[in-house]
Amino acid sequence: MAVGVFDSGLGGLTVLDALLRRLPDVPFVYFGDNAHTPYGTRDADDIFRLTCAGVERLWAEGCDLVVLACNTASAVALKRMQETWVPADKRVLGVFVPLIEALTERRWGDNSAPREVAVRHVALFATPATVASRAFQRELAFRAIGVDVEAQPCGGLVDAIEQGDMILAEALVHSHVEALLRRMPRPEAAVLGCTHYPLMEEAFRAALGPAVKVYSQPELVAESLADYLGRRPGMLGPGRQGSFLTTGDPQPVGNRATLFLRRRIAFDRA
Ligand code: DGL
């Protein structure tokens, strides 16, 4: 009954943590493609190829259902994967839709016409590839009208987090927030559209100020997966055991994961 969780590196651990809290009886197999991180500066074909390879590895672990806990892969590769590659007995889900449903106050399966919503000015922080894909704006336009989105590609931030350089990461958060606020001085909401960014959530909140509501994905994704599994329990795969896999060097990857989640995490080579 295992479920796979995929990310380009360590960011998906923020989602995994929320999944483990919400679904404590489900074994999760985590796959971090640390050898190829960051994805956010790669082209679409590369992101598609790497994401498919990671998902196949998770299928081999008995995870018929894989959550792409990576906005870059969800934004750039997921649609193509679902349309051309995922077999009928497997599922790959992304992290964008739960976030947009929360922002537009919709429930799953609400396919009514786009309508006006409470928020008008939304700041999006994401990787360069996610911003360039415009997937966030596309998904939002299916559900809401009249929402102005200002997107800030946060170059360098994933790299700094992956390397554990939190001082650089904090400085980058401040300069990216400042750059966005120069273009949109008063957003009502800010979306942390990369699963690495919840690790810097305090820095984002401090730089944005108390008037901005910050949407962070982990809890939203966990709630959405719990709802999905309630409706589709058959998608729990045959795998029985949770584990952590990486394409990088398991020792340093495990050390950084342990620091981030504040509990001992040991990775195996994927
Ligand atoms: N954490 C990922 C995301 O949500 C990927 C970041 C990257 O590899 O650039 O976008």
Per-residue pLDDT of 229-242, as tens digits, reads: 999 998 887 878 89
User: Which candidate, 10, 8, 6, places its Cα nearest to that of 165?
Assistant: 10
154 is catalytic: no
Are both 173 and 238 inside the same structural domain? no
Are both 103 and 173 inside the same structural domain? yes
User: Which candidate, 160, 180, 152, 120, places its Cα nearest to that of 38?
Assistant: 160
User: Which candidate, 266, 257, 246, places its Cα nearest to that of 7?
Assistant: 246
Are both 62 and 28 inside the same structural domain? yes
pLDDT in the model for residue 132: 97
Are both 87 and 192 inside the same structural domain? no
To 10 degrees, the CA torsion angle through 220, 136, 192, 40? 120
* 193 CA distance to ligand 1 middle (Å): 9
Mean pLDDT of 94-122: 88
Name the domain count of the chain: 2
Are both 162 and 229 inside the same structural domain? no
Q: Which residues pair with 30 in a beta bridge?
A: 5, 244
Q: Which residues have any ligand 1 atom within 6 Å of their CB?
A: 7-9, 11, 37-40, 70-72, 127, 130, 158, 194-196
Are both 149 and 242 inside the same structural domain? no
Are both 86 and 166 inside the same structural domain? no
Are both 86 and 103 inside the same structural domain? no
CATH code assigned at 55: 3.40.50.1860
194 is catalytic: yes
Q: Measured from the CA of 37, which atom of ligand 1 is nearest? A: 8
State the pLDDT confidence band at 254, using cuts at 50, 70 and 90: very high
Question: d(Cα 155, Cα 214) in Å, to the nearest integer?
Answer: 20
- Which residues form the domain of 239? 3-94+218-269
Given ligand 1 and candidates 5, 7, 41, 152, which is best to mutate, with the most ligand atoms within 8 Å of its CB?
7
Q: How many CB atoms lie within 10 A of CB 15?
A: 28
* 52 CA distance to ligand 1 middle (Å): 15
Are both 109 and 182 inside the same structural domain? yes
Q: Are 30 and 55 in contact (CB under 8 A)?
A: no
Question: d(Cα 110, Cα 96) in Å, to the nearest integer?
Answer: 16
The residue count for the chain: 270
Query: What pairing do the DSSP bridges indicate for beta strands 243-246 and 189-192?
Result: unpaired
State the pLDDT confidence band at 39, using cuts at 50, 70 and 90: very high
Are both 118 and 207 inside the same structural domain? yes
pLDDT in the model for residue 106: 82
Tens digits of residue pLDDT in 109-162: 788 899 999 999 999 999 999 999 999 999 999 999 999 999 999 999 999 999
Are both 106 and 210 inside the same structural domain? yes
Are both 41 and 108 inside the same structural domain? no
The residue from 215, 233, 255 where one domain ends is 215
